[in-house]
Amino acid sequence: MVLSRTFVVFPLALLSLLNLGTLRSSELEEKPPAEPLGLKPVPWPKDNPYSASKAELGRLLYFDKRLSADGTVSCATCHKRECGFSDCKEIAVGINGHKGTRHSPTIINAAYYTHFFWDGRVDSLEEQCKGPIANTKEMAALKDAHEAHRECVNKVKSIAGYQPLFKKAFGVDQPTMEEIAQAIATFERTILSGNSPYDRYKAGDSSALTAEEIRGMAIYKKTGCVNCHGGFNFADDRFHNIGVGMDQKDPDPGRSAITGNPKDFGAFKTPTLRDTANASPYMHDGSLKTLEAVVEFYDKGGVPNKNLHPLIRPLHLSKEEKEALVSFLKALSGEGWQHVQEPGSFPQ
């Protein structure tokens, strides 16, 4: 009897363990990719958690030009991998050659932002994804945002090949704008940059940075760059007036157009400096072509105006100090986004 009971119990216990192992294997498949060295865990939204099927669907939608009104512009048009997920242009260009008003910021490490667009007008990556689809200077032909979104949704619904992908990712085969935005946002949260020479140096590899880069890091801290471009993402997710464009006839109001606060006039969101060497030109208007030009701009103290940030002042750096600072900025280029490729084909 004892042997019999042992024989019966053992297979049941083994079966339980096997089931548990299968469950854990399934759970592992739904875990997002590991963040590169130097980054914190991506804050995945509770209402839009990661799934591999959702990320892959988002990749397809991100590169699919059919989401635009005339089928010529996709998210990737203004956020190209080869341009550091910016677009290598001063100012973004949308459908029918319509020129926008600002430079396309990189989406690398956008997963960590709490405000989006240069003026911070939305507070989630999902809402950011909806913006260009409804903007007539980017992807829309209709001025009414709701109508533009409806047109995009109807296009996606008309593509039979997308239906099983939405079914797998969301449990629906007739998506709304919410599911489209959530899928794209999920994909964009996987576009990360870490494990740079700087990260490896901070982790204990003393050979990861050159002597010049180490000197540049000291200058970066001494001059106060770290006050706005601090933390693991080298961005404070806040808004500052550093004088860019303030010498123009009609300066871009920046954040003040959203808040209505005159003190926010000319203030723009601090971008990450990770992989900044791959995302030129720079500033919200794309007016500075190189990192050397950016350093020169700060060295001169920006452009004086009534809202200029108090920390923006002439730095009086030497030629060698400027070169070291640029070298350090280049050492912030890392890994975690280079694997992204445009799909070879799209759902039909």
Confidence tier at 137 by pLDDT (50, 70, 90): very high
CATH number of the domain at 52-188, please? 1.10.760.10
For residue 11, say if its preceding peptide bond is cis, omega within 30 degrees of 0: no
What is the percent of the chain with per-residue pLDDT over 90, rounded to a whole number?
Answer: 89
User: pLDDT value at position 142?
Assistant: 87
Q: What is the mean pLDDT of the chain?
A: 92
Burial (CB < 10 A; 0-12, 13-18, 19+), residue 97, is: exposed
Q: Which two tokens stand for residue 169?
A: 């990712």
Residue 236: pLDDT over 80 = yes
pLDDT tens digits for range 84-130:
999 999 999 999 999 999 999 999 999 999 999 999 999 999 999 99
pLDDT at 46 > cutoff 50 = yes
> Which range (28-42, 177-191, 206-220) has the least confidence?
28-42
Q: Where are the alpha helices (DSSP H) in 30-78?
A: 52-63, 75-78
pLDDT greater than 90 at residue 26: no
* Cα 155 to Cα 71: distance, rounded to the nearest angstrom: 10
Q: Residue 325: pLDDT above 80?
A: yes
* Average pLDDT value for residue range 236-244: 97
Share of the chain above pLDDT 70, in %: 92
The pTM of this model reads: 0.90
For the annotated binding site, the residues are 75, 78-79, 225, 228-229
Annotated binding site for heme c: 75, 78-79, 225, 228-229
Q: Render pLDDT for 4-23 as a digit per residue (tens, 0 to 9).
A: 333 333 333 333 333 444 33
Mean pLDDT of 164-177: 95
Strand locations in the chain, DSSP E?
239-240, 268-269
Please give the pLDDT value at position 4.
39
pLDDT digits 0-9 by tens, 55-82: 999 999 999 999 999 999 999 999 999 9
Q: How far apart are CA 254 and CA 307, in angstroms?
A: 12
What CATH number does domain 197-330 carry, 3.10.20.740, 3.40.50.720, 3.90.740.10, 1.10.760.10? 1.10.760.10
Stretch 162-169: mean pLDDT, rounded? 97
| Whether residue 50 has pLDDT greater than 70 | yes
Give 22's contacts (C-beta < 8 A, 6+ positions apart).
Answer: none
Q: What is the pLDDT of residue 29?
A: 53
Res 30: pLDDT: 81
- The answer to whether residue 173 scores a pLDDT higher than 90 is no
> 28 falls in which pLDDT band (50, 70, 90)?
very low
Query: Which among 333, 240, 2, 270 has a CA at the least distance from the CA of 117?
Result: 270
List, by residue range, all CATH 1.10.760.10 domains of the chain: 52-188, 197-330
